Structure 1
Amino acid sequence: MNQTYIWLISLVAAFGGLLFGFDIAIFSGTIPFIQPHFNLDAAGLGWVGSSLYVGCMFGALATGWLTDRFGRKKPLILSALIFALSSLMMGLAASEGELVLWRIVAGFGVGAASMLSPLYIAEVSPPAIRGKMVSINQLAIVIGILLAYLSNYFLAGWDNNWRWMFASGALPSVLFFFFVFLVPESPRWLLAHGKEGQARNVLAKLLGPAAIEQEVQAVRSSLFQTLVKARFADLIKEGIRFIVFLGIGIAVFQQISGANAVFFYAPVIFEQAGMQVNDQLFQQILIGIINLLFTLLAMQLVDKAGRKKMMLAGSSLMALFLLLIAACFHFNLFEGYWLTLVVLAFIATYATTLAPVTWVLISEIFPNGVRGMAVSVATFALWTACFALAYAFPVLIEVLAPVQTFLLFAGICFIYFLFLWRYVPETKGKTLEEIEAAFGKQ
């Protein structure tokens, strides 16, 4: 097994995750500036913020068809181009309508990268390190989030600050575009499409000559009774339908757990606590640093502790910290650092558990023959939930007040704990084909 080569191509694929993180986080720093510039009320802010996820929904759905038809590599190249163009055009937007339009376009790139990067990494990684390798994508996402927060903080004093914040995403997009040409096509996709010679060449670089035949036979076996050109209708067939609904549940609960409300609207939350703009943006940097540090911890744990245990621990602890955030607002505990500490503990828990492990599970539970299509459907559901959250949160926190809003998220996390405990299997240490066979027996 050539771990160095696997790491290198996984890092390149994970660059899509970095841009994904950058694009979703850059908006939060622009809120104090675009809200007065475009005279946005709570609903208007929710629409501008959530419009990205309209693109994400349809980008993920379209990419499922593209990736099963054209492979994993070409859609990654397309997503890099979309990232670069949309970043520049958001910075040049002359009206609220133009900004919304280019955020929807940017969402196509985010939606594509959100499913392609973990999917590609899962398909080139051996079982023993697959959890850690797919977690690289989450690491890249949180690095992208932190870079966006730093960009926002340092650009806040510039003229036309919000324009520079949006446009700054073009630089990493161009780097991704050039790097992605260096990675090979997924060997599993090549085998599924009858390109065995090319697949064997890639597997030789990944696993070494001795393991090629075993891997080829395992993939061939899993593809034996599936259609190479998957259709959406295949996803509701007996034996696949339950797995698809399971993937959708995992995806949706991650988004409505409350964590992304903190990432997207931290300035709104801290404004409710009476903080000034510079303090709000600095708090975001602390969130980004904690997010990064605990994602690194998650990468060490995911292949040791197991997926299910980490998800159960995460959902229960997040429910507890959301109750404490609600208590901070109810009892006005804004003196000192109580609110900041509880928010950081909540983000640390999310970064160690739900954030990375969700993508690991989504990338590995689906059968080989429909994996691209199934991942796209689960990711579509994820972004639909994300859109609903991003649109509703500014209105929720205004109508319900912060206490009730965070109590609602705490209840959702508790329900997710029960869902995980009852339905989600442990997949640690199993090949993708073994996972597929285990579901087939249920």
Structure 2
Amino acid sequence: MTNQTENGSKAYLFSIVLVAVLGGLLFGYDTAVISGAEKGLQAFFMGAPDFTYTDTWHGITSSSALIGCIIGSAISGLCASRLGRKKSLFLAGVLFFLSALGSYYPEFLFFGYGESSYSLLLAFNFYRVLGGVGVGLASAICPMYIAEIAPSNIRGTLVSWNQFAIIFGQLVVYFVNFLILGDNINPVIRAVEGVNQILNPDAAAWTIETGWRLMFVSEAVPAGLFTLLVLLVPETPRYLALCGRDDKALAVLGRINGASQARAILADIKATAHEKTERLFTYGWMVIFIGIMLSVFQQAVGINAVLYFAPRIFESMGMGNPMMQTVIMGIINILFTLLAVFTVERWGRKPLLISGSIGMAVGAFGVALCNVVIGLPALVSVVSIMVYSASFMFSWGPICWVLIAEIFPNTIRGAAVAVAVAFQWIFNFIVSSTFVPMYNMQLGEMGDKFGHMFAYALYGVICVVAAVFVWKLVPETTGKTLEDMTRLWKKK
């Protein structure tokens, strides 16, 4: 026991981090569940007698959770400062749980079961937005919680585990959707004379009526578990110190780092946190600009257009079982996220971001080329998509969250992370809601291949610009304490 007091307990640290990364798993689960449900959902609302469910409506409905993400991330700084990191994560868990139940049964209290209508569409989107608020809170506060509780020498690795959990959550929901769908088929929807129609609705009846509901409610299980486990973890020592609760901060630091080291860390925290909060631009505009642009580029490279609509994309490539291809992509994403987890402290943040940007550009341009050059096998396009996705998973996926959790000084971290993550979700919504219309754009003899080509060429160009941005402006944070970052920005 004495040895544990002197050296700290890694088991205690890892158990805390494990609970926090469950929030990341729910983040991934909630945002990717739509990939399997969206076609059944589209067919369900196409049956509404009081309005026409267009591609634009479907783009908004598929992305409506992101509106909640923008709200949740925007208020995350206020929640983190007023409620604390722990209570904010508990609130996120409750919202995840309510959203899962509401998305499964949006008719609750007010509508007849299975009777699609414009009003029911609004109710469904309300529940998706509710879950999105939870995602927005978790996306900002989970990495912040881990960064504030982790020792500096392994902080990048532990924050990267949050991204692993996000991707693992996506893989889990891809697999769950695959199992739920089973032998049933997704509806085939085609535009006939400019109006969407369902081909062979009888064959896809179960998916249209029930399948998409089961996909959404499956989230209630991990959401309930996360909500209960958050009650067992401590508040972060940095938040406790900012609130003047030094004894509790020292106790948490002691259990993680050992008694003697805990006192030194607490002294360092207090030296750079004389006030609980400072104004957002106290350390200049550049640190805020870099944080915002990291978030913007993470979304503008177009990754969520692939993650949210993967089955639809693989179907357009002529692949036999698009849901199976989506699961394979999820496994590849997991493996390349692990690459980042195990190399982020050794290789550094910037090299991973730059190399990932280049890999994504190659993959995106490869997909675009397949839609211009006639006769290339579908496998080339599939491999290009996999390269694009894998490159994101060892770079912008985890490293963006690591940097956002690290680069801001202690006294503005809550507000600065909230601003940066809000921009992330704004651009996530822009990319996700515009993808289907852009992907289906038609031009002359190319038809919808023009839209396929244009979308990925655009994402490829943005990837190149992102690489230049990181090379020129982003500071390397590997091996630095959070207090070192305060001193860095004071000098600038």
Equivalent of 1:316, from 342, 346, 358? Answer: 358
Query: Which residue matches 1:368?
Result: 410
**8 A contact 2:319–2:378 mirrored in 1:** no
The 5 A counterparts of 1:31-430 are 31-39=38-46, 40-94=53-107, 95-157=120-182, 159=206, 160-224=210-274, 227-230=275-278, 234-237=279-282, 239-275=283-319, 279-332=321-374, 335=377, 337-399=379-441, 401-430=451-480
SS of the residue aligned with 1:147?
Answer: helix
Give 1:2 shift: 2.5
Structure 1 gap segments, 5+ residues each: none
Letter in 1 for 2:431: L
Give 1:43 shift: 0.7
Per mean C-alpha deviation after superposition, the further-off stretch among 28-37 and 91-100 is: 91-100
Is 1:17 aligned with 2:62? no
Give 1:370 shift: 1.1
**8 A contact 1:333–1:339 mirrored in 2:** no
Give 1:236 shift: 2.8
SS of the residue aligned with 2:309?
Answer: helix
Alignment RMSD (CA, Å): 1.4
Q: Distance in 1 between matches of 2:179 and 2:56?
A: 28
Q: Deviations over 1:353-391 (max 9, x none)?
A: 110000000000001011111111111010000011111
Percent identity among equivalent residues? 37
Per mean C-alpha deviation after superposition, the further-off stretch among 177-186 and 94-103 is: 94-103
Q: Deviations over 1:133-174 (max 9, x none)?
A: 001100110110001101111111464100000010000001
Closer, same or farther: CA 289–3 of 1 in aligned 2, 3 Å: same
**8 A contact 1:52–1:107 mirrored in 2:** yes
Q: Distance in 2 between matches of 1:421 and 1:293?
A: 26
Q: Distance in 2 between matches of 1:208 and 1:119?
A: 22
Q: Distance in 1 between matches of 2:328 and 2:71?
A: 32
Q: Distance in 2 between matches of 1:333 and 1:136?
A: 41
SS of the residue aligned with 2:400?
Answer: helix
Letter in 2 for 1:177: T
Letter in 2 for 1:287: M
Report the structure, 1 or 2, having the larger helix content: 1
Q: Deviations over 1:84-136 (max 9, x none)?
A: 11001101124322211111111000000001110000001111100000011
Give 1:268 shift: 2.5
How many residues of Structure 1 are paired with residues of Structure 2 in the alignment? 434
**8 A contact 1:31–1:267 mirrored in 2:** no
**8 A contact 2:170–2:330 mirrored in 1:** yes
Structure 2 gap segments, 5+ residues each: 1-7, 47-52, 108-119, 185-205, 442-449
Q: Distance in 2 between matches of 1:305 and 1:8?
A: 26
Q: Distance in 2 between matches of 1:98 and 1:283?
A: 32
Q: Distance in 2 between matches of 1:42 and 1:272?
A: 16
Q: Distance in 1 between matches of 2:85 and 2:424?
A: 20
Give 1:310 shift: 0.6
Q: Deviations over 1:9-55 (max 9, x none)?
A: 01100100000000000001112211111124221111001111110
**8 A contact 2:359–2:387 mirrored in 1:** no
TM-score between the two structures when normalised by the length of structure 2? 0.86
Give 1:336 shift: 5.3
- Select the structure of larger CA radius of gyration: 2
**8 A contact 1:295–1:352 mirrored in 2:** yes
Q: Distance in 2 between matches of 1:77 and 1:410?
A: 38
Q: Distance in 1 between matches of 2:355 and 2:133?
A: 33
User: Which is bigger in relative contact order (C-alpha 8 A, separation at least 6)?
Assistant: 1
Q: Deviations over 1:51-101 (max 9, x none)?
A: 111100111111210111121000111111110110011011243222111
Q: Deviations over 1:287-308 (max 9, x none)?
A: 1101111111110010100001
**8 A contact 1:243–1:366 mirrored in 2:** yes
Letter in 2 for 1:31: E
Letter in 1 for 2:72: G
